[in-house]
Amino acid sequence: MSKAVFYHAGCPVCVDAEQTVLNYLDAAKVSVEVVHLGADRDRIPEAELAGVQSVPALLIDGNVYHINFGASLEDVKKG
Amino acid sequence: MSKAVFYHAGCPVCVDAEQTVLNYLDAAKVSVEVVHLGADRDRIPEAELAGVQSVPALLIDGNVYHINFGASLEDVKKG
8 Å CB contact of B17 and A65:
yes
Burial class of A10 by CB neighbour count within 10 A (0 to 12, 13 to 18, 19+): middle
Whether this model's ipTM surpasses 0.90 comes out as: no
Q: Is A74 or B63 the better-scoring residue by pLDDT?
A: B63
Q: Give A24→chain B minimum CA distance, Å.
A: 6
Chain B partners within 8 Å of A63 (Cβ): 16, 20
pLDDT (tens place) for every residue of chain A, 79 residues total: 889 999 998 877 778 788 888 888 998 899 999 999 989 999 999 999 998 888 888 999 888 888 875 556 666 677 6
Phi, psi of A55 (to 5 degrees): -120, 150
8 Å CB contact of B61 and A20:
yes
> What b-and-e string marks burial along B51-63, b requiring 16 or more CB atoms within 10 Å of the CB?
ebebbbbbbbeeb
A59: CB partners within 8 A, 6+ apart: A4, A5, A6, A7, A47, A50, A51, A52, A65
Secondary structure class of A62 (helix, strand, coil):
coil
Secondary structure class of A50 (helix, strand, coil):
helix
Secondary structure class of B34 (helix, strand, coil):
strand
Residues in chain A: 79
8 Å CB contact of B65 and A69:
no
Residue of A19, A22, A24 to mutate for B, most B C-beta atoms under 10 A: A24
Domains and CATH numbers, chain A: 2-78 (3.40.30.10)
Q: Is residue B47 less than 8 Å (CB to CB) from chain A?
A: no
Q: Is residue A4 less than 8 Å (CB to CB) from chain B?
A: yes
